[in-house]
Amino acid sequence: MSVRPPPPQVESAHRSQLQSLKDALRQQRESLVALVEVTQEEQAHLIAFDIQALTDATTRRMSAMAVVAERQHATRQAFDAARLPTDSTVTALAERLADDELGQLASSLRALAGALSELNTLTQVHAKRSSGMTRAYAALLTRGRQGAKVPNAYSRNGRANHAAAAPASIVVRSL
């Protein structure tokens, strides 16, 4: 078992840079938590086919993504100020300084990024499913079943409207 050497003495200027990095990481974590939450809401509205709520959630998600991008830029600047050329990641910097808090912040950001990636993948699957169901439903309403005669419907002027809705029995079976 190897023993870590004691952490190097960090001068006060470097301490303030390190504190700025931690603050930036905390802010980035908060923005990612907000993005994950709004993405979960968006997914629930997509599954429920609640168009108005889905539109609102998507608008909030776009705003949250803009905040995440801003915070990510701030974090990158704070990291560049606090690191040495040998520190390629926040985790490497945390290990070099033996800073547990910095390491925990980095691991929580990785976990949130993984959760967001999984949510995005599931949301895409649900969106494809919803799109397919909507296309199939629209096809049933406008064309009816292949080979089946669509009943005549009449406009308010008494003209035949052959593109009328499919019979209710067809629509019910498709759902």
Of 144 and 69, the structure prediction assigns the larger pLDDT to: 69
| Average pLDDT of the segment spanning 3-29 | 76
Q: Helices 12-48 & 100-143, crossing angle to 10 degrees?
A: 20
Tens digits of per-residue pLDDT, 122-135?
999 998 988 888 88
Tell me what pLDDT residue 172 has: 47
Tens digits of per-residue pLDDT, 59-86?
999 999 999 999 999 999 998 888 777 7
Q: Specify the residue for token string 């990024």.
A: 113
Tell me what pLDDT residue 1 has: 44
The residue extents of the domains of the chain are 12-129
Whether residue 74 contacts residue 27, with contact meaning beta carbons closer than 8 Å, is answered with yes
**What band does 117 get if pLDDT is binned at 50, 70 and 90?**
very high
Tell me what pLDDT residue 174 has: 46
Tens digits of per-residue pLDDT, 28-66?
999 999 999 999 999 999 999 898 999 999 999 999 999
Q: Please determine, for residue 152, whether its predicted confidence score (pLDDT) is greater than 80.
A: no
Backbone angles phi, psi at 24, to 5 degrees: -65, -40
Q: Please give the structure tokens belonging to residue 80.
A: 């560049």
Cα distances (Å, whole numbers) of residue 57 to 29, 54, 118, 157, 160: 20, 5, 18, 43, 42
Tell me what pLDDT residue 6 has: 43
**What band does 3 get if pLDDT is binned at 50, 70 and 90?**
very low
